């Protein structure tokens, strides 16, 4: 297992092409735009060495028998699935933001199941090939970027129907030694500070789309790969100071990129799906359900921080003990724990797959994520209600630190004498950071849009059974419709 500093050193050995705001980022570890994201990911390494969190953060590999970081683990029981959720909540409490390793963890485990199923039905050798790759990931404690989301172009058309065939990642050549892929992946959480990406299909595919049925592992600095670092709410504040950032050490969300694949060569030993289009939809659903399981863990950890910040701001304002403030804090806590219960339930109700790994209850996993798309907004709304309007109108950090107007800000923004003005401002900026645009958009669209969850929930609603129950109670033998 790597420590956080060993993780940082391993990133320095890579040379990905990353562009940000008109320039190239040369060193993701120290560049001001990417350093906070590296810091949050590093926590997933450092916490594994904390005796207090060892049970949550580590596991025994089913492939090698060695102690590994849980982010590279194949779940072997429902207990493993539960520990995953609890681990994510705990890490979020330490970072107050996304730590980016979840997507790769879920892509790995979805690939483990899917390659087994393809081999079983098609007599290929993807699963054994992938297990060797998984051992490599475990032995080197790699951070993997799960790369599922394509740019998609015209959403009304399938991949093969697009005006530009590159709007979904696809195979453009097959050679004796491997394949060549072209296209782009969007919203790539943690890509800039990952070691490798695991490419997955992004939608169900038909025979005409077979070249889009591809899964493979690619180093982030492979020839032909270009990353374009995305903007986030208030990201330029990282360049200006400390206080205005709100959470300067750990950034805002996940440091997403638009990742371009310009005819990237992938050797066969790193190819885990090649034209097996009938398995694409199940692949996507397996990954999505694993990933939606997470939201009652990581987002609840963030909610814990938001609730604590809102309470602290209320205390700074001198109103923490007011009954209406208590009511709002109780509501926020209730909403957070409801999310957590959904994820614990989908984990506890998981089951062993034919591949040997454990998989979540997909109905509960989708309910957990759909709940999150509403709940995090309501928690944020209540936090804004508690804090008051000054979280949106605070002066610049530079003005607060200036000789000319700083003393006025210090004087007129003072409140509860138990806290300094700077402490009150810092707490307000943290709340602003955690409840702003980028963070909430990720709660809505991360792991799929709400409609994707509704489709999955409808498929598993078992309406025929529910209708039969109703007919029996109503003493109706047959009902039209």
Neighbours of 12 (CB within 10 A): 11
Which residue numbers belong to the known binding site? 189
170 bridge partner residues: 182
Residue 266, judged by CB atoms within 10 A of its CB (0-12, 13-18, 19+), counts as: buried
From CA 420, how far away is CA 416, in angstroms rounded?
Answer: 8
From CA 276, how far away is CA 51, in angstroms rounded?
Answer: 44
Among the listed residues 168, 295, 359, 419, the single catalytic one is 295
Among the listed residues 78, 291, 316, 358, the single catalytic one is 291
Helix/strand/coil for 51: helix
From CA 340, how far away is CA 296, in angstroms rounded?
Answer: 4
Among the listed residues 189, 257, 259, 373, the single catalytic one is 189
122 carries an active-site annotation: no
C-alpha distances in angstroms, 350 versus 146, 269, 286? 22, 31, 12
End-to-end CA distance of the chain: 58
126 carries an active-site annotation: no
For residue 243, what are the contacts with CB-CB under 8 A and spacing of at least 6? 397, 400, 422, 425, 426, 429
From CA 63, how far away is CA 106, in angstroms rounded?
Answer: 17
What's the per-residue H, E or C state across 361-396? CHHHHHHHHHHHHHHHHHHHHHHHHHHCHHHHCCCC
341 carries an active-site annotation: no
Give Cα 358 to chain centroid, integer Å: 20
- Total length of the chain: 481
**Alpha-helical runs (H) found in 294-354:** 295-317, 323-348
From CA 3, how far away is CA 50, in angstroms rounded?
Answer: 11
98 carries an active-site annotation: yes
Helix/strand/coil for 70: helix
Which residue numbers belong to the known binding site for FAD? 189
102 carries an active-site annotation: yes
Among the listed residues 20, 98, 245, 274, the single catalytic one is 98
Structural contact between residues 212 and 197, judged by C-beta atoms closer than 8 angstroms: no
245 carries an active-site annotation: no
Among the listed residues 256, 276, 285, 432, the single catalytic one is 256
From CA 171, how far away is CA 180, in angstroms rounded?
Answer: 6
Among the listed residues 7, 44, 53, 102, the single catalytic one is 102
Among the listed residues 298, 316, 346, 372, the single catalytic one is 298
From CA 358, how far away is CA 433, in angstroms rounded?
Answer: 36
Active site residues: 98, 102, 189, 256, 291, 295, 298, 442
């Amino acid at each position: 297992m790597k420590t956080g500093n060993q993780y940082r050193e391993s990133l320095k050995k890579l040379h990905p092409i990353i562009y940000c705001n008109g320039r190239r980022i040369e060193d993701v570890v120290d560049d001001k735009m990417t350093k906070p994201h590296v810091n949050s990911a590093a926590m997933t390494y450092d916490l594994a060495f904390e005796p207090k969190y060892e049970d949550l953060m580590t596991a025994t590999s089913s492939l090698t028998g060695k102690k590994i970081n849980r982010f590279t683990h194949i779940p072997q029981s429902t207990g493993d699935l539960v520990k995953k959720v609890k681990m994510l909540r705990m890490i979020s409490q330490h970072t107050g933001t996304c730590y980016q390793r979840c997507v790769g963890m879920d892509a790995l485990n979805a690939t483990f199941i899917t390659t087994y199923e393809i081999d079983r039905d098609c007599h290929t050798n993807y699963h054994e090939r992938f297990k060797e790759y998984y051992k490599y990931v475990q032995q080197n404690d790699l951070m993997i970027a799960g790369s599922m989301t394509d740019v998609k172009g015209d959403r009304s058309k399938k991949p093969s129907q697009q005006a530009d065939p590159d709007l979904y990642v696809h195979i453009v050549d097959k050679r004796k030694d491997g394949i060549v892929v072209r296209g782009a992946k969007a919203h790539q959480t943690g890509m800039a500070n990952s070691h490798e990406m695991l490419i997955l299909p992004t939608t169900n595919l038909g025979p005409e789309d077979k070249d889009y049925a591809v899964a493979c592992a690619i180093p982030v600095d492979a020839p032909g790969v270009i990353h374009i670092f995305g903007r986030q709410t208030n990201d330029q504040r990282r360049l200006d100071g400390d206080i205005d950032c709100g959470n300067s050490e750990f950034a805002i969300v996940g440091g997403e990129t638009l990742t371009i694949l310009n005819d990237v060569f992938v050797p066969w030993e790193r190819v885990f799906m090649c034209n097996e289009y009938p398995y694409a939809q199940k692949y996507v659903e397996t990954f999505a359900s694993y990933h939606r399981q997470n939201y009652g863990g990581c987002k609840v950890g963030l909610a814990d921080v938001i609730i604590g910040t809102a309470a602290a701001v209320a205390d700074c304002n001198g109103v923490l003990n007011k009954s209406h403030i208590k009511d709002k804090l109780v509501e926020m806590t209730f909403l957070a724990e409801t999310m957590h219960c959904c994820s614990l339930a989908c984990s506890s109700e998981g089951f062993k797959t034919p591949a040997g790994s454990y998989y979540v209850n997909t109905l509960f996993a989708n309910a957990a994520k759909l709940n999150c798309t509403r709940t995090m907004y309501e928690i944020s709304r209540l936090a804004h209600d508690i804090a008051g309007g000054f979280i949106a109108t605070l002066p610049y950090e530079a003005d607060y630190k200036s000789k000319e107007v700083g003393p006025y800000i210090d004087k007129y923004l003072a409140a509860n004498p138990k806290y300094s003005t700077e402490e009150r401002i810092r707490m307000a900026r943290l709340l602003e950071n955690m409840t702003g645009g980028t963070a909430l958009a990720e709660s809505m669209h991360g792991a799929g849009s709400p409609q994707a969850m509704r489709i999955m929930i409808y498929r598993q609603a078992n309406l025929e059974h529910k209708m039969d129950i109703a007919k029996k109670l109503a003493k109706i033998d047959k009902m039209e419709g």
